[in-house]
Chain A
C-alpha cells in the first residue's frame, strides 16, 4: 500500500460547485497532516494544516479521521482561481513530509 494515496482526477467542475478530495495514509504513526496546493509550473505551497477536530479557512474545510487514516478537503463555491493540483501530505515526527501524487482540479466558467 502506498504511503499516501489520492485520486489523481482530474476533477472538472463549474464555478460555484462544491468539490471534495479524499486521501488515505498507511502509517498509523503519522502525526501531522497538511494540504498543499501546486499551480501549473510552480512550487507547492501550504494551503492548510489539518487538525483532528477539523478546521475551516474561508471556503476550505479540512477533516481528519485517524481511525480510518483518512483526510479530506472540501472546497465550497469553487472559483476559477482554485484550479490547481492539491497535494495531501503527512508527517511523522523526525522525518520528511510524505506527499501524495496530487489531485487535479479544473474549475470552468
Chain B
C-alpha cells in the first residue's frame, strides 16, 4: 500500500512565524504536490515537484515556498504565516508509470492566530 505521511495533523502558529509542513511518501514516486483545501473553494494547487530539486508553481504560490532535497520528501514552507493561510493542507504523490493516480496524505489542519 502506498503511504503518504504528513508531519502533523493539527498545527497552531502565530502570525509572522515561519512554518514547515513535511510530507513523506514511501513509493518512490517522482511527482509530489501540495494543495490547500478551503470550504467552497475546493482543492487548490500551491506547488508541485516533478523530481528531486525540481519545483513548479501551482495556482496559488504566493506566500509559500517548497523544498525537495530527497525524492521521498516534499516540504512546504510558509515564510511568514498570515491568518489567511489558515487552511487544510494536503500533500500528494503520483504514480506516473500507469494510471496517474494521486495518493494523498491525511492532511494538516493549520490555524494561524
Q: A-side interface residues toward B, CB under 8 Å?
A: 32, 34, 42-46, 49, 87, 91, 96-97, 99-102
Question: Which residue among B35, B90, B102, B106 has the maximum number of chain A CB atoms within 10 Å of its CB?
Answer: B102
Question: Which residue among A32, A43, A45, A102 has the maximum number of chain B CB atoms within 10 Å of its CB?
Answer: A43
Let me know if B100 and A45 touch, CB within 8 A. no
Other 6 A-B pairs with CB < 8 A, given A96-B33, A101-B40: A32-B100, A42-B106, A46-B101, A49-B101, A96-B58, A99-B43
Q: For the complex, what is the distance from the CA of A87 to the CA of B106, rounded to whole Å? A: 17
Let me know if A87 and B43 touch, CB within 8 A. yes
The count of chain B contact residues (Cβ–Cβ below 8 Å) is: 19
Q: B-side interface residues toward A, CB under 8 Å?
A: 33, 35, 40-43, 45, 48, 58, 90, 94, 99-102, 104-107
Let me know if B104 and A101 touch, CB within 8 A. no
Q: Which residues of A contact B40 (CB under 8 A)?
A: 101
